[in-house]
C-alpha cells in the first residue's frame, strides 16, 4: 500500500489530533515534502508531538523518515520549482556538489545492477541486425537521442536522428517499417504526446528499444526491449549519466556483434574523414 492507502486504513484508530494531521495530508500531501515539522504543526494548529505520533501510527519512526517517503512517492510529479524548494532546504549548498557526484555514480551502478543481462544483449542484437536505426527523444531527451545518433553513426550505416514532433514533422513516423529499430529515450517529465508517438512507432512494425526511468507502466507495453535507468540524484535536475553509459555499452556491443561488417564500414568512414578534414598549413 502507498502512504495514502495506509493513512485511510488507519484513520479510524487515530486520536482527534492525529486525525487532523491525516486529514491535512490527504488534502495537501505535497506540503509534507517541503515543510518542516514545526511548520506543518503550525499550519494544522496542533503540536509537533501530535505530528510525530501520527507518523508513528502509520509505521514511520519520525517525521524525517515520513517526509523522505513522501518525497520518494511524489518525486516524479514535482515541477522544477518544487525540486528547487527541496534542494534549497539544505543548510550548506556547497556540500551538495560532491553528493551529486556520488549520487550520479550510484545511478550508474544501480542501473546496470538491475537491468537483466538478456535485455542488454537483446537490445544490442536488435540494433546490429536492424535495416535502419532511428534515434528518438523529446524535449531534453532529444539531446540523448542526438548523442546516440553520433555514436551509432560511426559503427554502422543507415542511422538517423528522428525529428518527428521536434520540428512538427510527425509524418516522418510513417516511414518506419518492420526491420527498423527505434532507440527511444523517454524521461520525466515527458510530454503528453510521447506515449502516443511510442505506440505509433510500434504499430508501424518497428522494434522499440525504450530507455527510460520508472514509473514506466504506461509505456512499457509498447517496448520491444525495456532498459530502465536510475536518474534521480536528489537535485533540481536529473542525471543523464546512466542513459549515456547504456548508449556507450550498446554501441560497443553492436561493434562486437557485427564483426568484419563494422570493421569495413569504419575503414570507409576513416577514409572519408581524412578526405574532409582540414589540415593546418
Residue 171: Cβ-neighbour burial (10 angstroms; 0-12, 13-18, 19+): exposed
- Cβ contacts of residue 3 below 8 Å, gap of 6+? 25, 29, 58, 69, 70, 73
Q: Which among 137, 136, 142 has a CA at the least distance from the CA of 175?
A: 136
Q: What is the pLDDT along the chain (281 residues), one digit of tens a residue?
A: 678 889 999 999 999 999 999 999 988 887 887 788 998 998 899 999 999 999 999 999 999 999 888 877 665 555 556 555 655 655 555 556 787 889 899 999 999 988 988 999 999 999 999 999 999 988 888 899 999 999 999 889 899 998 655 455 567 788 899 999 999 999 865 566 778 888 899 999 999 999 998 777 778 899 999 999 988 877 778 899 999 999 999 999 998 887 667 777 777 777 777 777 655 54
Q: Which among 122, 225, 117, 134 has a CA at the least distance from the CA of 179?
A: 134
Spatial separation of the C-alpha atoms in residues 207 and 205, rounded to whole Å? 7
- 245-272 exposure pattern, b = at least 16 Cβ within 10 A, e = fewer: bbbebbbebbbeebeeebeebbeeeeee
Spatial separation of the C-alpha atoms in residues 250 and 33, rounded to whole Å? 37
Residue 53: Cβ-neighbour burial (10 angstroms; 0-12, 13-18, 19+): middle
pLDDT value, residue 53:
95
pLDDT value, residue 261:
73
pLDDT value, residue 74:
61
Domains of the chain with bracketed CATH: 3-77 (1.10.10.10), 104-275 (3.40.50.10490)
CA angle 1, 6, 13 (to 5 degrees): 150
- What pTM was estimated for this model as a whole? 0.65
- Cβ contacts of residue 245 below 8 Å, gap of 6+? 108, 111, 112
Amino acid at each position: 500500500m502507498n502512504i495514502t492507502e495506509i493513512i485511510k486504513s488507519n484513520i479510524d484508530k487515530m486520536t482527534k489530533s492525529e486525525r487532523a494531521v491525516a486529514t491535512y495530508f490527504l488534502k495537501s500531501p505535497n506540503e509534507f515534502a517541503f515543510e518542516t515539522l514545526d511548520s506543518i504543526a503550525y499550519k494544522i494548529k496542533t503540536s509537533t508531538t501530535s505530528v510525530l505520533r501520527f507518523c508513528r501510527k502509520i509505521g514511520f519512526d519520525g517525521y524525517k523518515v515520513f517526509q523522505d517517503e513522501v518525497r520518494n512517492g511524489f518525486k516524479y510529479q514535482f515541477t522544477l520549482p518544487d525540486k528547487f524548494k527541496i534542494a534549497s532546504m539544505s543548510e550548506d549548498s556547497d556540500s551538495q556538489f560532491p553528493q551529486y557526484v556520488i549520487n550520479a555514480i550510484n545511478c550508474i551502478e544501480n542501473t546496470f545492477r538491475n537491468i537483466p543481462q538478456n535485455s542488454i544483449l537483446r537490445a544490442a542484437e536488435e540494433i546490429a541486425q536492424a535495416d535502419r536505426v532511428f534515434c528518438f527523444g523529446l524535449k531534453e531527451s532529444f539531446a540523448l537521442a542526438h548523442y546516440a545518433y553520433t555514436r551509432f553513426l560511426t559503427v554502422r550505416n543507415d542511422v538517423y536522428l528522428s525529428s518527428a514532433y521536434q520540428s512538427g514533422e510527425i509524418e516522418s513516423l510513417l516511414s518506419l517499417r518492420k526491420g527498423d529499430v527505434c532507440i527511444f529515450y523517454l524521461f520525466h517529465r515527458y510530454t503528453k504526446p510521447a506515449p502516443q508517438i511510442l505506440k505509433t512507432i510500434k504499430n508501424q512494425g518497428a522494434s522499440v528499444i525504450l530507455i527510460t526511468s520508472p514509473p514506466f507502466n504506461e509505456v512499457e507495453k509498447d517496448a520491444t526491449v525495456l532498459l530502465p535507468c536510475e536518474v534521480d540524484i536528489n537535485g533540481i535536475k536529473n542525471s543523464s549519466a546512466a542513459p549515456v553509459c547504456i548508449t556507450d555499452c550498446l554501441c560497443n556491443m553492436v561493434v562486437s556483434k557485427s564483426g568484419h561488417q563494422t570493421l569495413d564500414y569504419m575503414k570507409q568512414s576513416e577514409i572519408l574523414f581524412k578526405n574532409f578534414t582540414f589540415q593546418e598549413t
